[in-house]
Structure 1
Amino acid sequence: MRLLLWWGGRALVSAATLLGVSILIFAAVRMMPGGFAETVLGPFATADQKAALAEQYGLDQPIPAQYWHWLSAVVTGDFGTSMISRTPVADELGARLPVTAELTLIAIAVALLAGVPLGVLTAVRARPGGGGAAGRLLSGLGVSVPEFVLAALTVFLFSRYALGLRAGGHVPFGEDPAGNLRSMILPALVLSIFALSATARTTRDAVLNVLVEPYVTAAVARGERPSSIVLHHVLRNAAAPVVTLTATIAAYLLGGALIVEYAFNLPGIGSFIVQAITRRDYAVVQAGVLLAAAVFIVMNMLVDLAVGLIDPRLGTEAGGK
């Protein structure tokens, strides 16, 4: 019962967070210099032309009235109509969501499948007085190098030299699955570098903390094999910080996808939002940011559930609180 109440409280907090995000993004897009009328009509448009365009899209109404009209529609699933393409925003986002979802999922898979074993390996082989220095150096570089630098360098190398992978453009999965993978692997690898480094570093620290626990020492004293100790005693107890990090990584990858999609010319949500910002397409920007916030909040709730299943002590503490 306590756990159900806790989840109910989390749901209310999540709803309040989404409401706050909606207010902030609605106000922010209207505070950007150069409104929709100036962007569409140009600098030489007359006042009457600007007024007519504002009236056509309801931009002449008070800001609170505009927000209430938009929020009421969003609650019913209507994200409005793109002010540029005149098509429903939900259809536009739905057409681009598979590209961003595939890019993000591949990047998360690479980060977890490579980062977790690398973190465990560097922790198990660490020695006092400098052990694991190479792993810390590589993870530090991976965290520090920006995506746009890696993306630009990758596009240049794979465009200049025939290295077997596409460095731009997108092939739909339904048309050519192999071609789709070739077009997505490079941007996914670029996007995963930060997440991989952060995962490896977090896993290493978590494993090092678990290795000094008494039950690990007892397992060593019983003569258990190192591989058995790692699998049965270390990984599960060290998994909670890594799982928690996954939610943060997912949010970061959604943000990093903006740059990667633009650099590799992928028709995803990120590049679509960038274009909408430059065109002051308010409905698209609002819906895109709200969708990203909703994904992040849902990921956090799922991570809380997963952590409670991995370590029941944490779930009990959460239910008690």
Structure 2
Amino acid sequence: MRVLLWWSGRLLSGAATLAGVSVLIFVAVRLMPGSFAETILGPFATSGQKDALAARYGLDEPVFLQYWHWLAAVGQGDFGFSMISRQPVSAELRARLPVTAEISGLAVVVAVLAGVPLGVLTAVRARPGGGGAAGRLFSGLGVSVPEFVLGSLVVFLFSRYSLGLKTGGYVPFGEDPAGNVRSLVLPALVLSVFAVSAVARTTRDAALGVLIEPYVTAAVARGASPWSIVRHHVLRNAAPPVVTLTATIAAYLLGGALIVEYVFNLPGIGSYTVQAIGRRDYAVVQACVLLTAAVFIVMNVLVDLAVRLIDPRLGGEVAAR
């Protein structure tokens, strides 16, 4: 019964968070310097022209009425129309979501396949002279190097020397599977550098905490090999923080890899959001931010479930709170 109550509270908390985000973003976009009318009509437009454009899009109504109309439409799955392209925002999101989902999925896969082994290896060799310094150095560099710097460098190198991979544009998978992969490999790798470093560092810290536990000492005393200890004791017990971080990174990337999409000229959610902010396209900004918040909330709930399955002890502690 306590578990059911906890999950009910978790869902209610997520719904309340999403509602709060909707209010904040709705108000925030209207507080940005430069209104939609000023952005579209320019600085020399008359007040009459600005008022007419605002009335055309319902921007002359009180803010709380605008919010209520928008919220009622979102409740029916209607995110409105882009004030620039006059296209339904839902259709634009459906067209752009596969791009962001593909590069984010590839980046997460690379992060797990590279970051977890690197973190475990660094933890096992953490003793002086054990060779873990190289792993720590890579993690530190990966976390600290900005994505726009790395992305710009990659674009320059692959454009200048024609190394065989595309550095811009997007090819749908249905049109050309091989071209789709070539167009996404570089942005996915650039996007994964930070993720690999973060996963490796978290895995290292979690594994070091497990390696000092008494049951690991007992396994060593029984003569178990190091990698047998890693497989049977370290990986599962170090998994909860790694799973939590990986899910958070996945939610962040799915919400829109703004810089990478912009640098590589990819028509994803991130670049769509940046363009909408510059144009003061309120409906688009609101929908993109709300989608990002929803992804974070859903991923957090799934992480709680995954951690409970991996380690029932943690699930019991969570349910008791």
Report the TM-score when normalising by structure 2: 0.97
Aligned residue number for residue 69 of structure 1: 69
Secondary structure, in 3 states, of the residue corresponding to 1:95?
Answer: helix
Aligned residue number for residue 103 of structure 2: 103
Measure, in 1, the Cα distance between the counterparts of 2:306 and 2:241: 11
Measure, in 2, the Cα distance between the counterparts of 1:319 and 1:130: 41
Residues 100, 268 of structure 2: 8 Å contact kept: yes
> Which segments of 5 or more consecutive residues in structure 1 lack a partner in the other structure?
none
How far did 1:248 drift? Answer: 2.4
Aligned residue number for residue 267 of structure 1: 267
Secondary structure, in 3 states, of the residue corresponding to 1:316?
Answer: helix
Aligned residue number for residue 205 of structure 1: 205
Amino acid of the structure 1 residue aligned with 2:173: F
Residues 255, 291 of structure 2: 8 Å contact kept: no
Residues 210, 216 of structure 1: 8 Å contact kept: yes
Residues 252, 292 of structure 2: 8 Å contact kept: no
Secondary structure, in 3 states, of the residue corresponding to 1:199?
Answer: helix
Measure, in 2, the Cα distance between the counterparts of 1:33 and 1:165: 40
Measure, in 2, the Cα distance between the counterparts of 1:277 and 1:311: 43
Residues 147, 256 of structure 1: 8 Å contact kept: no
* 1:66-215 to 2 correspondences below 5 Å: 66-128=66-128, 132-215=132-215
Amino acid of the structure 1 residue aligned with 2:98: P
Aligned residue number for residue 21 of structure 1: 21
Measure, in 2, the Cα distance between the counterparts of 1:239 and 1:102: 25
How far did 1:58 drift? Answer: 0.5
Residues 191, 256 of structure 1: 8 Å contact kept: no
Measure, in 1, the Cα distance between the counterparts of 2:88 and 2:49: 25
Aligned residue number for residue 250 of structure 1: 250
Amino acid of the structure 2 residue aligned with 1:82: S
Amino acid of the structure 2 residue aligned with 1:263: V
> Which segments of 5 or more consecutive residues in structure 2 lack a partner in the other structure?
none
Measure, in 1, the Cα distance between the counterparts of 2:298 and 2:239: 20
Moved over 4 A (4+): none
How far did 1:21 drift? Answer: 0.7
Deviations 1:267-301 (A, max 9, x none): 11111111111111000000000000100111111
Measure, in 2, the Cα distance between the counterparts of 1:43 and 1:126: 61
Measure, in 2, the Cα distance between the counterparts of 1:252 and 1:78: 24
Aligned residue number for residue 33 of structure 1: 33
Secondary structure, in 3 states, of the residue corresponding to 1:85?
Answer: coil
How far did 1:207 drift? Answer: 0.7
Residue-pair matches, total: 321
Measure, in 1, the Cα distance between the counterparts of 2:263 and 2:120: 33
Measure, in 1, the Cα distance between the counterparts of 2:41 and 2:2: 57
Residues 210, 234 of structure 2: 8 Å contact kept: yes
Measure, in 1, the Cα distance between the counterparts of 2:229 and 2:130: 24
Amino acid of the structure 1 residue aligned with 2:260: V
Measure, in 2, the Cα distance between the counterparts of 1:72 and 1:129: 63
How far did 1:130 drift? Answer: 7.5
Amino acid of the structure 2 residue aligned with 1:235: L
Measure, in 2, the Cα distance between the counterparts of 1:234 and 1:259: 36
Secondary structure, in 3 states, of the residue corresponding to 1:22?
Answer: helix
Measure, in 2, the Cα distance between the counterparts of 1:252 and 1:301: 15
Secondary structure, in 3 states, of the residue corresponding to 1:115?
Answer: helix
Measure, in 2, the Cα distance between the counterparts of 1:98 and 1:182: 16
1:46 is aligned to 2:39: no
Percent identity, aligned pairs only, is 78
1:303 is aligned to 2:303: yes
Report the TM-score when normalising by structure 1: 0.97
Measure, in 2, the Cα distance between the counterparts of 1:74 and 1:213: 50
